[in-house]
Amino acid sequence: EMQLVESGGGLVQPGGSLRLSCAASEFTFSSYWMHWVRQAPGKGLVWVSRMNSDGSTTNYADSVKGRFTISRDNARNTLYLQMNSLRAEDTAVYYCASPGVRDGYNFDIWGQGTMVTVSS
Amino acid sequence: QSALTQPRSVSGSPGQSVAISCTGTSSDVGGNNLVSWYQQHPGKAPKLIIYDVTKRPSGVPDRFSGSKSGNTASLTISGLLAGDEADYYCCSYAGSNTFYVFGTGTTVTVL
């Protein structure tokens, strides 16, 4: 079964940095677009960023552009999200997601999420 | 880019049908056939239940169906079951500036 497992969340002060990881298994990771989606406590889903299969194309939501950087290591089947200049409004569960074999404009495979809390 | 508009909640009795609307603009919902729907139970990751407006992934019951008219997409759940109680989110591709926009979310309650 295709699986994504996020890690790296935690408590960080405003202005601080954090790097999230998403490890893929039973999944041809190197073939697919990968995304980050976040969900603030009690709120809805918000798309954050995406990267294509070979890492040559990245896109970001306006709210994180210039502060967050998505990257991937296809040899390690791992996706990353480097988050800098963190703000209170970045507090959320962060999910990695992928269309997987469907390879379209949807999110078929999700991780369990990792919580990021930005607070002093 | 604002979130797509969904009703805050809908409810129905077991066996009944409910419909959830998802209203956007010509730049997202109305501009393509790339609307997807997600079911999310409390404390769990979302699950894809409809993609490309009307398609169902394997394993998703045919009680779930999707449609679209103009700038509004809809999810219909027929034959409501207790296990359908969850939050539901629509999502649309919104072009090369905004990329993806999710709906505000709808809580389905089975009475």
pLDDT of residue A102: 78
Mean pLDDT, residues B57-75 taken together: 97
pLDDT of residue A100: 86
- Give every residue of chain A whose pLDDT is below 50, as ranges: none
Q: Does A42 touch chain B (CB under 8 A)?
A: no
Mean pLDDT, residues B21-49 taken together: 97
pLDDT digits (tens, 9 = 90+) for B27-36: 999 999 999 9
- The distance from CA A26 to its chain's CA centroid, rounded to whole angstroms, is 19
Mean pLDDT, residues B47-51 taken together: 97
Residue B8: count other Cβ atoms within 10 Å of its Cβ: 8
The chain B residue lying nearest A112, using CA atoms, is B45
Whole-angstrom distance, CA of residue B45 vs CA of residue B87: 11
pLDDT of residue B99: 95
Query: Residue A7: beta bridge partners?
Result: A21
CB A55, CB A75: distance < 8 Å:
no
**Looking at beta carbons, which residues of chain A come within 8 Å of B45?**
95, 110-113
- Output Rg (C-alpha) for chain B, integer angstroms: 13
For residue B1, pLDDT beyond 80: no
pLDDT digits (tens, 9 = 90+) for A55-81: 999 999 999 999 999 999 999 999 999
Mutate to test the interface with A, among B48, B87, B104 (most CBs of A within 10 A): B48
